[in-house]
Structure 1
Amino acid sequence: MTTSISAPAAPVTDASALTGKRRIAFASFVDENYLPGFLVLLRSLALSNPDVCEDFLVLHDDLRPASVAAIRALHPRVRFRRVDAGHYDSYVKGDQDNYLVRKAYFILDVFRIRDYDTVITLDTDMVVLGPIGELLAMRHGLGAVPQFFYGDKTRMLNSGLLVIQKEYLTDTFCAKIDAIGRSGTYELDKHDQGILNALLDGDFVDLDPKYNFVKRRLSGDLPVPEDTAVLHFTGRHKPWQGGEAGYGLAQERWAAFELTDAELHAAYLEAGDTLHHDLLVHYGTPHVERTGDVDTARKVALAHIGAGDYQAAVDILERVHLPIDEAWPHEVYGHALMSVSRYDEATAQLLLATAAPNRAATAFARLAQISWVHGDDDRARAHATSGLTVDPTHRASRIWHQRTVGVPAQPAGRPEDQLAHVAFYMDRQGNAGDKLLPESVRLAFGPDTTSRRWHSVHAHRLFDEAALERVNTRKGLVIGGGGLFIPDTMPNGNSAWQWNVPDELLGRIDVPIAVYAVGFNAFDGQSYRAERFRASLRLLVERSSFFGLRNHGSIEKVRAMLPAHLHDKVRFQPCPTTVTRQLVDGWRDPATREDTILLNAAYDRAGLRFGHDYGYFLAQMAKAVKDLGALAEVKCAAHSLDDEKLAFDLRREHGVSLPVIPMYDFDNDEIRDLYARTKLVIGMRGHAGMIPFGCGTPIISLISHPKMAYFLRDIDRPEWGVSVHDRNLADVLVERSRDLLADHDRTVADVHGRQQELWKTTEANAADLRAVLGG
């Protein structure tokens, strides 16, 4: 019996729950007495690890508003959580009346945290001196440095720094803590540490002592070892209270971080080439306001651009005076301005940037882009040629040059017989999935996908009066497919999504509009310019006669941005690539398949995909490839040039070699043929799953984006996906591959059954579309 997949069960809204992306946080208990130490801790963390910025949970029982403000000034992602102080009054303690003893237990509230996968606790009498990336990469157990004893081999942990995984952040573990605390069966003078040692009984993961290097090791004013990552000022005498005799060199290391906010900002901005976006913006913005420093404004603007917040990039550069002879700030300003559709101003800034040889090629490429967006191919080609003259290897200039030459002419049909089609028309050597999409959408409306029936409207070109006139002479407008609801592939200020259409012109389209199989493609951690996007989206829904999104996850996201009366207009329309076998005229399933497994990985927005786990992912893939080789030959299927990085990194880091298939060079028939002839596709790109599925080939999705989970949920096969963050990624991937290949005919039949359900929805929608757009 086939289960319907048109209306899946209750949707999951939390993106990290779909992608499996690890949620990491630091945590400290802070009160007024230890606040000076905590402020130094925060400064030292930022300066010693300038590329790290995770949520920082401040556990407290009572902090003054001024203290809260001081903490917020030092960290952009603090979260304040009040502890349940009374909960610990029932614990047996060595000195019930000592307030410091009472508060020593409050850090145990960290085990009541449920919204993170890894929590790293830091005592407020610590200072961070070196990299701690190894702690962020930990995935198993409860990590701690063994307690330091002279001559005693007893195995106990020092609780000043703990790396706690989610299996300890449970009610069960908290109940065990409470039982020991209330019974008093622990070293009472060790407080929270005593309880944890009694509970764990030595069962913890050893961390290198450099991550909790206690001050007592330096008795006699010994120097702090160079590799010390975290120095811990244990004992009664704290650095902010004057310290202790015999530890002067350690005290100096702590005192180096007693900085004013202005000193901290300046020091951070010089801390290295890899600065975390959140910290750079948090420290750089007030630094620019205070100093007017152009170089910092440029860095902050680039951080905003990298995060897709183009208006913020414009705003920071508008606050400073850009010297006419400093090209780089002008180029960045021009980039920001063009991204919010202030094209004339952007052109002026970019022309200034062309004066400097080291920025000229990039500036010319952006000028070519602006000209192309406005439909001026000749000017775009001239700018691109100028960029290649400066730097013959400049990739962006080459891409814009290619877009304006060698476009084959096609016979044009009569306008009244054509549908206009807004899509992202991929360049040569572009992403294979995006290359296939426009044709796949057109196939859903009939076998003729040529310009006899279709008038192409490139989504990224400015939709102006001339474009409006051309569309209004056609019998309808189709918008799709692909993930057009994404803010940053080709940003504009007119719609804040991929179609560069001003509201005023969208409102004047007087032919029927069908939005077909579009996806909401924001990554976990990525956001839109909400108000501009919401306004454009609402108008689009209001004006559309058909509004179909390619998965129920996108439907959920889009409906949340619309008023209730528009919700019912948003319906499910699967991506046409998922029903390829039904759409391609004369399709024949392969009589035999090659004994291959095709493996795809994606590297765009790698930070959003992998977080701190890329090294782990790569090691797991190396292990998986070796084991999968016993099932079939594994090959790297590169949808884009960047996808080849998987093969490069596997060979360089792990000595694992893979043949690479350059799918970016394939035409559409070659893409479909390759995917139809293999036995299994393991893909990270959305269309490295949907295209082979549509060709009848079993798939496993490497989930690094919510859309992968959306699709698998729609076909009621979530087990065909595994998160790139999975704690047993290689083993799970191999096990599921083996299961799918064990009875391949049965698996293929299951794919066909899943696809048939999507086809039923597509056929039902086709009837409505014929009524809207005509036959």
Structure 2
Amino acid sequence: MTTTLSTPATALPATAAHDLTGKRRIAFASYVDENYLPGFLVLLRSLALSNPSVCEDFVVLYDDLRPGSIAKIHALHPRIVLRRVNAEHYDSYKKGDQDNYLVRKAYFILDVFRIREYDTIITLDTDMVVLGDLGELLKLREGLAAVPQFFYGQHKLNSGLLVIQREYLSDEFCAKLDATGRSGDYELDKHDQGILNAVLNGDFVRLDARYNFVKRRLSGDLPVPEDTAILHFTGRHKPWQGGESGYTQAEDRWREFQMSDAEFHAAYLNSSGGLHHDLLVHYGTPHVRRTGNVEYARKVAAAHIAAGDYQDAVDILSSVRIPLDEAWPHEVLGHALMSVSRYEEAKAQLLLATAAPNRAATAYARLAQMAWVHGDNAEALTYATAGLAVDPTHRSSRLWAQRAASVPAQELGAPEDQLAHVAFYMDRQGNAGDKLLPETVRLGFGADTTSRRWHSVHAHRLFDKAALERVNARRGLVIGGGGLFIPDTMPNGNSAWQWNVPDEHLRAIDVPIMVYAVGFNAFDGQSYRAGRFRESLRLLVEKSAFFGLRNHGSIAKVRAMLPPHLQDKVRFQPCPTTVSRQLVPGWTDPSYREDTVLLNAAYDRAGLRFGHDYGHFLAEMAKAVRAIGAHTEVRCVAHSLDDEKIAFDLRREHGISLPVIPMYDFDNDEIRDLYAKTRLVIGMRGHAGMIPFGVGTPIVSLISHPKMAYFLADIERPEWGVSVHDKNLGAVLTERAIDILDHHAATVADVHERQQSLWKVTEANAADIRAILGA
């Protein structure tokens, strides 16, 4: 625990986000040829309609598909991955009929075991139709799973559906398949299935028969059981070839999905439950183009907004004629226009939406937001009050009313003595980490964090000419306090990141600009799609006298977006919260610590954080909480209201009750004090790691976002993190937490040593900044 921390490297190799977060990569796969293409197209439609919220990569193994056939496949799924099989590889296998082309092709699905890009692959035969929810298959984490053969007992599997985990997607397992195939030591008439059964010898995870319900079980025209998830048309006679007598009811279920594109698109858009963004956009866009349907256009636009594709939302809703009395489409279009900074057009759309009682409160809240963005608190309060008059419980209207009614503190200092400070200034009961950040950034420039020395510029307000004049009257401009390089918290079309600054006003700033400890905060699965962001970022780097990012992962991401001559301007500046012990005036380390462990979990963008693994995460956390709780009291610490969900879910699902600490109600000193006086913090939010670390408290990070891994890499302690997707999360977390608690003094000393390296970087940067400011 006394390893010396060297200065972190100036660049990190490009690392995929899922390699940092441990998020499982899942894919479906099928072997498809021209003869079975009609079955595969039905399979794709049935998968989408039966599981409308599921969209994973679909690997198509093929050897002879025509371009037109490939186009049909792409039209039915947005994430098709084509992979040509190595057909000759299987010619060396001994087969029951070496010259039958169908027998030869039966082995090609085994190429799936040669794929290395995924953690879980679910194979589906092309003579299957999906009738029910496959969620349980997506959650499987162990072994190779399949349904036992109907006619041969539990020892052998039916290979029509396989759920394959990474340990089988290996050269070692492929070698076993090849050895068995070439030896012929298997049931030759069972082809790929015979090889798998010979190699596995009964060692597979048994799935319920409803996941591979073979047609033969319905002989005599029996109805398909209601709970059937996948119906498999085994045998020679396929539904698209005319079918087989005695299976009418089964084949009718297959034909439910034999439909035109127009019928299929409409059926998907009318599906109940959550619709996956990729599928909704893929099917909805051509359907809107074909029909001009306003309701479908609204659904597609809303999906674009949820993914941060605001211009796409504007485009699709602008392509249809919205009747004056259709409030919801007007409100969604207003939201999209506001998000690309077309404010006057947005206002017109939102005013139209206020005419309908069911959309009025939301529309008024957005109008209040726009007025606030433009600095008109009086108008913002008027709109927010109107929203509350429609719906007194409307949370967004209430928040905007509170923000508009707040009176900014009177500035005490003279402009020429102040620094302007662009930051995300968090509201009361907002995220505790973001509440603490602006003050801590200011501490990096001196002990006085008040308006005597600082002029506040809220990042989310439009940086207009008046704001420009106020900034240019100051000594300099500091930008920092929040993960400002993220596209969707408060979107705008001027910069496409959190500071709502037009290029012309950024160019006109004539005082030194210092970007200080900003983070690149995109999640795994989230991206900046607009060229606008790159252009604004480039201009910001050009204009900055100091450009410091809070971790080397962010540095690598930002440098990749810049031309070579600007890349070296991007330097490392740790988040000041990580060195709070050095910055807070009069800081003293606590004389005692409470015998507690504080647990934080985050739920914003939960789909990006957890994928299909939330149930697994919760169950593993229950194991860890019980085990750690046997040593030390575990309490839930909530940075925001949503963070309390883990306490509710642990109690409801696992009977565990945790005290909840509402940190969102704390002031900055209380936040630091609480974290300084506990023995360990287990946190999922970035600042549930960095703040306790900064006050000298050991941490274990629950990694669901790349930035957590970035920070641990910078302090050379990756073992202080564990992925929320880790198969053995509960055991790993318990082991690391107990080890820290058992060696607490040594770990605290290690935290102090890690911090000292970050402080040296901060001090060196501070000297450069003083020179820039002439101080």
- TM-score, scaled to structure 2: 0.99
1:527 corresponds to which residue?
Answer: 527
* Structure 1 residue 705: Cα displacement: 0.4
Contact 2:148 2:154 in 1 (8 A): no
* Structure 1 residue 572: Cα displacement: 0.3
Q: Distance in 2 between matches of 1:288 and 1:412?
A: 57
SS in 1 for 2:129: strand
Q: Any idea what the Cα deviations from partners look like across 1:546-580, whole Å, max 9, x if unmatched?
A: 00000000000000000011110000000000000
* Structure 1 residue 153: Cα displacement: 3.4
Question: Does structure 1 residue 349 correspond to structure 2 residue 352?
Answer: no
Q: Distance in 2 between matches of 1:773 and 1:109?
A: 63
* Structure 1 residue 652: Cα displacement: 1.4
Question: Does structure 1 residue 444 correspond to structure 2 residue 444?
Answer: yes
* Structure 1 residue 409: Cα displacement: 2.4
Q: Distance in 1 between matches of 2:167 and 2:248?
A: 41
Q: Distance in 1 between matches of 2:57 and 2:552?
A: 30
- Identity across matched positions, percent: 80
2:40 corresponds to which residue?
Answer: 38
1:76 corresponds to which residue?
Answer: 78
Q: Any idea what the Cα deviations from partners look like across 1:407-460, whole Å, max 9, x if unmatched?
A: 352342111110000000000000000000000000000000001000000000
Question: Does structure 1 residue 616 correspond to structure 2 residue 638?
Answer: no
Q: Distance in 2 between matches of 1:710 and 1:340?
A: 31
Aligned residue type for 1:716: E
SS in 1 for 2:78: coil
1:677 corresponds to which residue?
Answer: 677
1:731 corresponds to which residue?
Answer: 731
Contact 2:47 2:130 in 1 (8 A): yes
Q: Any idea what the Cα deviations from partners look like across 1:497-526, whole Å, max 9, x if unmatched?
A: 000001111011010000000000000111
Q: Distance in 1 between matches of 2:254 and 2:467?
A: 64
Q: Distance in 1 between matches of 2:654 and 2:213?
A: 33
SS in 1 for 2:561: coil
Q: Distance in 2 between matches of 1:424 and 1:666?
A: 17
* Structure 1 residue 371: Cα displacement: 0.3
1:593 corresponds to which residue?
Answer: 593
Q: Distance in 1 between matches of 2:737 and 2:541?
A: 41
Contact 2:551 2:572 in 1 (8 A): yes
Question: Does structure 1 residue 550 correspond to structure 2 residue 550?
Answer: yes
Matches within 5 A, 1:467-616: 467-616=467-616
1:135 corresponds to which residue?
Answer: 137
1:17 corresponds to which residue?
Answer: 19
Contact 1:6 1:761 in 2 (8 A): no
Aligned residue type for 1:62: D
Q: Distance in 2 between matches of 1:8 and 1:505?
A: 31
SS in 2 for 1:159: strand
2:696 corresponds to which residue?
Answer: 696
SS in 2 for 1:597: strand
* Structure 1 residue 13: Cα displacement: 1.7
Contact 2:11 2:552 in 1 (8 A): no
SS in 1 for 2:484: strand
Q: Structure 1 residues 555, 425: closer, same or farther in 2, change over 3 A?
A: same
Q: Any idea what the Cα deviations from partners look like across 1:82-141, whole Å, max 9, x if unmatched?
A: 011111111111111000000000000000110100000000000001111000000110
Q: Distance in 2 between matches of 1:742 and 1:11?
A: 35
Q: Distance in 2 between matches of 1:317 and 1:167?
A: 46
Matches within 5 A, 1:242-641: 242-407=242-407, 409-641=409-641
* Structure 1 residue 9: Cα displacement: 7.9
Contact 1:5 1:716 in 2 (8 A): no
2:51 to 49, 52, 72: 49
RMSD: 1.0
* Structure 1 residue 527: Cα displacement: 1.1
Aligned residue type for 2:13: P
Q: Distance in 2 between matches of 1:711 and 1:384?
A: 39
Q: Any idea what the Cα deviations from partners look like across 1:184-205, whole Å, max 9, x if unmatched?
A: 1111111100110000000000
Question: Does structure 1 residue 89 correspond to structure 2 residue 91?
Answer: yes
Aligned residue type for 1:101: V
Q: Distance in 1 between matches of 2:172 and 2:217?
A: 36
Aligned residue type for 1:40: V
2:121 corresponds to which residue?
Answer: 119
Contact 2:22 2:723 in 1 (8 A): yes
Q: Distance in 1 between matches of 2:88 and 2:422?
A: 62
Aligned residue type for 1:439: E
Aligned residue type for 2:226: E
Aligned residue type for 1:465: K
* Structure 1 residue 8: Cα displacement: 7.1
* Structure 1 residue 12: Cα displacement: 4.7
1:648 corresponds to which residue?
Answer: 648
Q: Distance in 1 between matches of 2:314 and 2:765?
A: 43
Aligned residue type for 1:6: P
Q: Distance in 2 between matches of 1:698 and 1:27?
A: 44
2:658 corresponds to which residue?
Answer: 658
Contact 1:91 1:178 in 2 (8 A): yes
* Structure 1 residue 733: Cα displacement: 0.6
Matches within 5 A, 1:154-303: 155-303=155-303
* Structure 1 residue 405: Cα displacement: 2.0
SS in 2 for 1:392: coil
Q: Distance in 2 between matches of 1:309 and 1:486?
A: 13
SS in 2 for 1:484: coil
* Structure 1 residue 279: Cα displacement: 0.7
* Structure 1 residue 406: Cα displacement: 3.5
Q: Distance in 1 between matches of 2:482 and 2:14?
A: 22
* Structure 1 residue 10: Cα displacement: 4.6
Question: Does structure 1 residue 26 correspond to structure 2 residue 28?
Answer: yes
SS in 2 for 1:28: strand
Q: Any idea what the Cα deviations from partners look like across 1:231-255, whole Å, max 9, x if unmatched?
A: 0001111111001111111111111
SS in 2 for 1:485: coil
2:148 corresponds to which residue?
Answer: 146
Contact 1:298 1:329 in 2 (8 A): yes
Aligned residue type for 1:428: R
SS in 1 for 2:519: strand
Contact 1:496 1:529 in 2 (8 A): no
Q: Distance in 1 between matches of 2:536 and 2:450?
A: 30
SS in 2 for 1:442: helix
Contact 2:5 2:753 in 1 (8 A): no
Contact 2:10 2:572 in 1 (8 A): no
Q: Distance in 1 between matches of 2:396 and 2:17?
A: 32
Contact 1:481 1:519 in 2 (8 A): no
Aligned residue type for 1:598: L
SS in 2 for 1:404: helix
Aligned residue type for 2:727: R
SS in 2 for 1:482: coil
Contact 2:221 2:246 in 1 (8 A): yes
Q: Distance in 1 between matches of 2:270 and 2:568?
A: 53
Contact 1:8 1:716 in 2 (8 A): no
SS in 1 for 2:708: helix
Contact 1:8 1:713 in 2 (8 A): no
* Structure 1 residue 530: Cα displacement: 3.2
Q: Distance in 2 between matches of 1:747 and 1:273?
A: 48
Contact 2:49 2:268 in 1 (8 A): yes
